[in-house]
Every structure is written in C-alpha cells, then in structure tokens.
C-alpha cells in the first residue's frame, strides 16, 4: 500500500495535505515566501465548496501579508547597509505585491528613503559638490545589473551582508493599478493613470516631478509600464515620447534604462553615447555605459568607458570608485584598492561602504592591520551597520582570537537588528559567529545553543554545510 501511495504521488503530484504540511513547515521557520507558494498550490487543488478551502485560503492570506512585511523589512535593511541595487529591485517587487493602501504606503515609505539617500535610481548618484545629472530615474523603475552602485553606496566585497541574495518575492497574479495606463484616452482611465503616476513619483523633489509631468501622457504611460516590469512596452512608449521631446535628458536616461532592462543593450549604449555628446558636463553616461557593457560581458570595454569618462571628468569620485569595483570583480585587488583610495580624494568622498570594501580587499591581500583600520573607520562613519559589525567580528575571530571583543560586537549587532530588522541571513550569521566565539571562550553549552538557533533560522542552502560543520565542532569537543 505504501508503494502504491508513493507511485500515486509521483503520477498525480503532491496531495493537498502534503502541500499544506509543507506550507506549515515553512511558516513555522518564518520562510513566508515559500509558505505562500505551498499554500497557493494547495488552494488551487482544493474545491471552493470543500470544508478545507476556507482554512487554506486564510493561511494563504496570512502568509501573503507576512511575506510582504518580511520583504519591506529586508528593503529597509538593504537601505541601512546602502545596498541600493538590491533595494531597488525589492521595491519594484513590493510594489507589484501591494494589495492594500496600507501596503502601498509602506512601499512609498521605502521609495522616500531611497530618494533621500541622494541616489538617482537609474543607477547613478549625485556626487557631493558636483553638478546634478540630467536625470533622476523613476523610483520603481530602477535598473539592475551586476555592477555595484557608485562609491557612496558600495556594498562590501565579501562577508555575510554581501552573500545575501535579494528577496525573491513572487510576482502578483493581478496587474497593479499602475498598469491601467494605456494609449486609450478615456477620462476615467487617464485619472487613474495620473494617480498611479503621482504615487510613482512619491516624495521626489518638486522640480523633478515638474520635469516629468511636463513630458506628457506618453512619458507617464511609459514610466508606469517600466515600473511594473513591462520593459518592452515602456521602450516603445518612451521612443514615441521622444517625438515631442527629442533632447530631454530625463526621457533619454529612462529610455536607456528601459532598453537595457529589455535586453536591447546595444541601443541603450547608443542612447548613453548621445547623452555624453549632448551633455559634456555630465559624468553619468559613462557610468551607465560601463554597467551595460559589463552586463553584455564586455569587461575590457566597460573599464574603457570609465577611463574615457575620467578623462573628461577627472574629479568624478563615482567613476573612479566604479573602476575599482570592476577591478575587484576582475580579480585584481591591488589595482582595485588603488582606485578606491583615489576615489576617496575626489568629490569629498567619506563613505562607510567604501571603507568597508577597502577593508575587505586589504584582508584578501593579507594586510590585517589595514583591514582592521578600514572596518573601524566604516563603523565610525556608520555605527549602526550590522553588516560591517558582522564582518569585523569574523575578522577578530579569525585574526585576533579575541572572543570577548567578538561577543561584545555581536551583542551590539543583535540590538541593532532588533531595532532595525534586517535579512534573516544576518541573524543566522550572527548566531554562527556567536557559536564560534563561545567555543573560543570555552562556553560549549552557549556555543551549542547559538549554532542550533542558526540552523533553525537558516533558509540559505549554500550556508548549510558551514553551519553543520560548526555544529559537529561543538559536539565533538
């Protein structure tokens, strides 16, 4: 009978009870995204008039709400750690998931924090003391790519915070309100599109809002399409808007970002070249060009784009820092360090993330004293960065064997994460480091409790072997 049952499951798939049980299991460990997937499958296999349908539907609704809340918390944590590229992707996912006014308000709060960071969300930033680039791209239409953000938002080159993957919130089954915009012109439809457009602009400064509103309905519809991930449609609408505003930098930057998102990278490069030629005072086209070239796998040409930009804008710290980022990714840590140090001398850079990246590179090169000073400088500039605290704690464990200092840092990190919850991975890695520190201090029972907590909280497959290895170390002593 057991064999027949297994064969039946293989042929017809998991039963509703199996799916519900897996959903309950994921919910019990706080993995709400996976719980939503399992509950949704269970609901789809259950007849609406059955006794269990309401129970499963209630569980699905609860998991959706908690999955959304978890995503919002993760966004705030990314913003705290200046991981703007990941945060921008997650904001777009959260906007697509939002189903109530309250949830939309929480997304808009994230967007306001993103804007207040000073980062132009099409991939660039405004340098201190430099001219503002022509565009400040749309909040929910942030371009993503393998290249890090400019120096003011450099993410650590290694460590727990960097290893975290962006939240994979599932796509919403219903079209968001923003997708109501289209070329069909009816008063009610236009009114709804205008409201969605105003929500999209959020708390953007009034001059930037005015610059976008004056571009008209075609730009509005293109921006809304881009915001909900319809990159190809956004490209078509942005191109049509160019007929009326052929040289507008806001429109050109957003068109290039949409082209890159749609996979039309050569056309995006052409738009950035057009911007570079038409706006010789603007460093940002070269930064964006490097991103697109890197995305296409043209690594040497990406570096050349930054070199050319620096020839024309020798004081751009963002271009210099991005050059360092690319060199680090190319496996050239010494050359990367040279560029990052040069970036510190340009545009009055004094950023915690940049010092964290410098510390990680020094550690990779074996210069532990310079790595220590880098971590301390990063914490001086941003004393609430849980990611930097964890990397510094790991550094002290591996190179200073100072268990007492590590436990003190981890306690501070725990208070920070309670006040401003971050990704689950940060909590897991804090518990893992706590276990190692307690073992170094001779406190085996505390070490066992910490690693057990880490294993229970972990939802990252790549970390399982490391956690299990630490558990075996505790058990065999």
Segment 277-287, tens digit of pLDDT: 888 888 999 99
Q: Which of 39, 22, 81, 45 is nearest to 379 (CA)?
A: 81
Q: For the segment 349-373, what is each residue's pLDDT rounded down to a tens digit?
A: 667 888 888 998 999 999 999 999 9
Mean pLDDT for 275-296 is 90
Please, what sign has the CA dihedral across residues 208, 275, 84, 357? negative
C-alpha span between 353 and 102 (Å, rounded):
32
Q: Which of the two residues, 36 and 151, has the higher pLDDT score?
A: 36
Could you tell me the two tokens for 225?
A: 């399409």
pLDDT in the model for residue 113: 83
Q: Is the pLDDT of residue 255 over 50?
A: yes
Least confident among 13-27, 259-273, 288-302, 324-338? 13-27
Q: Which of the two residues, 94 and 33, has the higher pLDDT score?
A: 94
C-alpha span between 246 and 239 (Å, rounded):
9
Q: Is the pLDDT of residue 5 over 60?
A: no
DSSP state of 169: P
Confidence of residue 9 (pLDDT cuts 50, 70, 90): very low
* % of residues, the chain, pLDDT over 70: 77
CB atoms within 10 A of CB 153: 23
Which one of 35-39, 68-72, 158-162, 384-388 scores highest in mean pLDDT?
384-388
Least confident among 118-122, 163-167, 230-234, 443-447? 163-167
Which one of 27-41, 50-64, 236-250 scores highest in mean pLDDT?
236-250
pTM: 0.53
* % of residues, the chain, pLDDT over 90: 25
Q: Is 289 exposed, middle or buried (0-12, 13-18, 19+ CB in 10 A)?
A: buried
Q: Is the pLDDT of residue 2 over 60?
A: no
Q: Are 441 and 403 in contact (CB under 8 A)?
A: yes
Kindly write down the DSSP assignment for every residue of 118-159, as one continuous string. Answer: TEETTTEEPPTTSPPPS----GGG----SSPP-GGGPPPSSS
C-alpha span between 70 and 26 (Å, rounded):
14
pLDDT in the model for residue 145: 32
pLDDT in the model for residue 122: 34
Please name the residues in contact with 169: beta carbons below 8 A apart, sequence gap of 6 or more. 33, 67, 68, 71, 90, 93, 94, 96, 97
Q: Which of 422, 421, 412, 447 is nearest to 432 (CA)?
A: 447
Q: Is the pLDDT of residue 139 over 80?
A: no
Measured in Å, how far apart are the chain's first and last C-alpha atoms?
Answer: 45
Least confident among 81-85, 405-409, 432-436? 81-85
Q: Is the pLDDT of residue 432 over 70?
A: yes
Q: Which of 392, 357, 375 is nearest to 157 (CA)?
A: 357
């Amino acid at each position: 009978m057991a064999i027949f049952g297994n064969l039946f499951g293989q042929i017809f798939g998991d039963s509703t009870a199996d799916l519900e049980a897996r959903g309950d299991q994921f919910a019990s460990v706080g993995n709400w995204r996976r719980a939503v997937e399992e509950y949704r499958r269970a609901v789809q296999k259950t007849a609406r008039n059955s006794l269990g349908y309401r129970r499963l539907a209630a569980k699905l609704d609860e998991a959706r709400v908690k999955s959304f809340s978890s995503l919002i918390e993760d966004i705030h944590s990314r913003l705290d750690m200046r991981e703007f590229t990941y945060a921008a992707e997650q904001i777009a996912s959260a906007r697509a998931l939002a189903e109530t006014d309250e949830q939309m308000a929480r997304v808009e709060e994230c967007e306001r924090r993103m804007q207040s960071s000073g980062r132009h969300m099409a991939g660039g930033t405004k340098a201190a003391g430099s001219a503002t680039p022509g565009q400040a791209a749309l909040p929910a239409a942030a371009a993503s790519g393998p290249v890090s953000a400019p120096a003011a938002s450099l993410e650590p080159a290694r460590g727990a915070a960097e290893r975290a993957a962006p939240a994979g919130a599932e796509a919403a089954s219903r079209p968001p309100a923003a997708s109501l915009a289209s070329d069909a012109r009816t008063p009610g439809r236009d009114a709804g599109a205008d409201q969605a457009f105003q929500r999209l602009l959020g708390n953007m400064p009034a001059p930037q809002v005015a610059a976008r509103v004056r571009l008209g309905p075609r730009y509005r519809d293109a921006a809304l399409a881009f915001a909900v991930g319809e990159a190809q449609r956004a490209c078509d609408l942005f191109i049509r808007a160019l007929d009326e505003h052929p040289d507008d930098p806001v429109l050109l930057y957003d068109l290039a970002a949409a082209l890159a998102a749609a996979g039309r990278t050569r056309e995006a490069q052409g738009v950035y070249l057009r911007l570079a030629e038409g706006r010789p005072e603007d460093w940002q086209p070269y930064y964006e060009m490097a991103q697109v070239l890197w995305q296409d796998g043209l690594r040497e040409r990406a570096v050349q784009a930054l070199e050319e930009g620096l020839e024309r804008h020798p004081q751009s710290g963002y271009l210099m820092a991005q050059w360092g980022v690319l060199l680090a990714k190319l496996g050239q840590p010494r050359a990367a360090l040279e560029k990052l140090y040069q970036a510190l001398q340009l545009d009055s850079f004094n950023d915690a993330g940049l010092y964290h990246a410098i510390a990680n590179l020094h550690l990779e090169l074996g210069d532990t004293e310079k790595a220590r000073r880098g971590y301390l400088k990063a914490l001086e500039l941003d004393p609430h960065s849980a990611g930097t605290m964890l990397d510094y704690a790991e550094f002290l464990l591996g190179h200073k064997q100072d268990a007492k200092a590590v436990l003190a840092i981890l306690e501070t990190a725990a208070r920070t994460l309670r006040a401003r919850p971050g990704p689950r991975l940060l909590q897991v890695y804090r518990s893992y480091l706590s276990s190692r520190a307690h073992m170094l201090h001779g406190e085996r029972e505390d070490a066992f409790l910490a690693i057990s907590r880490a294993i229970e909280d972990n939802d990252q497959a790549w970390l399982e072997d490391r956690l299990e290895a630490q558990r075996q170390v505790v058990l065999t002593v």
